[in-house]
Amino acid sequence: MAEILTAPSGGGRIHAFDAVRGGALLLGVAFHATMSFLPGPQIWVVRDSVSPVLGALFVTLHMFRMILFFLVAGFFGRMLMERRGAGGFARNRAKRILLPLLVFWLPLSAALLACFIWGAAQTSGGVLSANQPSPPAITLATFPLTHLWFLYVLIWFYLAALALRWISPAGLDAPIRFMAERPFAGLLLAIPAIVAMSLNAQWIPSVGIPTPDTGLVPNSTALAAYGTAFAFGWLLNRQPSVLPAIARWWQLHLAAAVVLTAVLIVMLGGEVPVFVPEAEVARRVALALIYGCGAWCWALGLLGAALRFLSTPNATIRYCADASYWVYLLHLPVVMALQVLVYPLAAPAIVKFLMVVAGAAIALFATYHVLVRHSRLGLWLNGRRYSWRAEKPVLEAAAT
């Protein structure tokens, strides 16, 4: 499996990791599309008919999607630091991560607010009630980062990497090899998240890692889980020779992931997700153990499968990976608007879900192709834009 270690020339892309990063972001469309079909109280723009299948999909996707993303972000982050140095790394991350957060936050927040108002009107027969609750005052604890929270958290991880760059991580090479080369040894990576979830009396097992989308101080569980994934990816980049070992165990890890996820859903009982904290300590610890191990089995299994099967160039996968950043940035108001549109239809929840996902994919990929791929927007967000004629990338200067 020597091709796993081969970084392509020109753009310096490692295809398997690129595919995983793109897949993790694109799955966000499906994840948020499930949220109007969940049981329990209305937490979304509309509450449509309930689907147990979509509830299980919600739980499953949330287990691994962002752990995978932050793992790959750490891997590519160290690669960028090695190639450009601290100054070039800081300038690149400010341009690609900080600036999109600042530019997109306000218009996307306004679009999301408009969707919630539209959804409230739709569910009340087209008339907004005068008793609609007003949004809370914006403070450090309530600041709405929306789905752009991943950019905000990444900024903190990058700052930590810059601050710690003088500390030699050579002493961690052996533990990283141990976790990568042996089946299920990587579940040691779940320990910080398991401890954080177990100690949190307000932890909701169906939700797992609480999304840090509100407040400028990310919650401890998210920092523990995603910080561990980022650090593992960063340190993994020091030893690319261990990647074939991760690929070797992909089937075992994925099989364990499926079993652990099924056990979790059975233990939760009834319809999932259940938005209730687990008060019983022993049960909370057991669910946290299952959730954390399941999340990392998914992450290692999917990464291993990508290394095994997606390490060679593929034009379709590369296109989707290029588009994934734009798709994720813009997807949430598009998904919400489509959920409001399909709400009145007399159709099964699964059919409506597929309509939302398909409609969002068509709209977002079309705007990417027309507005981003061949323009300066693509150069800004992805570091490359493509010629209309030959589909050849025009890369930004390495020094920027």
- 39-73 per-position pLDDT tens digit: 888 889 999 999 999 999 999 999 999 999 999 99
Secondary structure class of 394 (helix, strand, coil): strand
Is the pLDDT at 132 greater than 80, yes or no?
A: no
Task: Please state, rounded to an integer, the average pLDDT across all residues of the chain.
Answer: 91
- Within 10 angstroms of residue 201's Cβ, the number of other Cβ atoms is 10
- 355-367 per-position pLDDT tens digit: 999 999 999 999 9
Of all residues in the chain, what percent carry a pLDDT higher than 90? 83
Q: What band does 152 get if pLDDT is binned at 50, 70 and 90?
A: very high
Q: Do 29 and 189 contact (CB within 8 A), yes or no? A: no
* Backbone Cα Rg of the chain: 21
Give the per-residue pLDDT at 129.
55
Mean predicted confidence (pLDDT) in 186-206? 96
Give the per-residue pLDDT at 95.
97
Of all residues in the chain, what percent carry a pLDDT higher than 70? 91
The residue with tokens 């598009």 is 334
- 361-395 per-position pLDDT tens digit: 999 999 999 999 999 999 999 998 888 876 667 66
What is the sign, positive or negative, of the torsion defined by CA atoms of 235, 239, 244, 248? negative
Query: How many angstroms from the chain centroid is the CA of residue 115?
Result: 22
Of 250, 190, 176, nearest to 226 by C-alpha is 190
Of 365, 356, 366, nearest to 334 by C-alpha is 356
Distances 312 to 6, 198, 308 between C-alpha atoms, Å: 9, 41, 10
Q: Do 115 and 337 contact (CB within 8 A), yes or no? A: yes
For the chain, which residues make up each domain, given as ranges? 2-123+143-395
**By mean pLDDT, which of 61-70, 116-125, 310-319, 344-353 is the weakest?**
116-125
Q: Can you name the residues that pair with 395 across neighbouring β-strands?
A: 384
Angle between helices 149-163 and 52-93 (to 10 degrees): 40
- 249-269 per-position pLDDT tens digit: 999 999 999 999 999 999 998
Longest dimension (CA), the chain: 65
- 92-104 per-position pLDDT tens digit: 999 999 999 999 9
Can you list the alpha helix ranges (DSSP code H) found in 220-280?
A: 220-236, 243-248, 250-268
Give the per-residue pLDDT at 126.
59
Q: Do 338 and 355 contact (CB within 8 A), yes or no? A: yes
Is the pLDDT at 398 greater than 50, yes or no?
A: no
What is the sign, positive or negative, of the torsion defined by CA atoms of 18, 19, 22, 27? negative
How far apart, in whole angstroms, are the C-alpha atoms of residue 269 and residue 36?
A: 20
Is the pLDDT at 148 greater than 60, yes or no?
A: yes
Q: Amino acid letter at 388?
A: W
Kind plus residue range of the DSSP H or E element containing 385: strand 384-386
Is the pLDDT at 149 greater than 50, yes or no?
A: yes
Query: How many angstroms from the chain centroid is the CA of residue 153?
Result: 12
Mean predicted confidence (pLDDT) in 327-349? 97
Give the per-residue pLDDT at 391.
66
How far apart, in whole angstroms, are the C-alpha atoms of residue 80 and residue 67?
A: 20
Give the per-residue pLDDT at 14.
85
Mean predicted confidence (pLDDT) in 176-204? 96
All residues at 6 or more sequence positions from 236 whose CB lies less than 8 Å from its CB, including other chains: 71, 74, 75, 176, 180, 242, 243
Is the pLDDT at 11 greater than 60, yes or no?
A: no
How far apart, in whole angstroms, are the C-alpha atoms of residue 96 and residue 329?
A: 12
How far apart, in whole angstroms, are the C-alpha atoms of residue 158 and residue 47?
A: 37
Is the pLDDT at 1 greater than 60, yes or no?
A: no
Give the per-residue pLDDT at 13.
67
Give the per-residue pLDDT at 141.
87
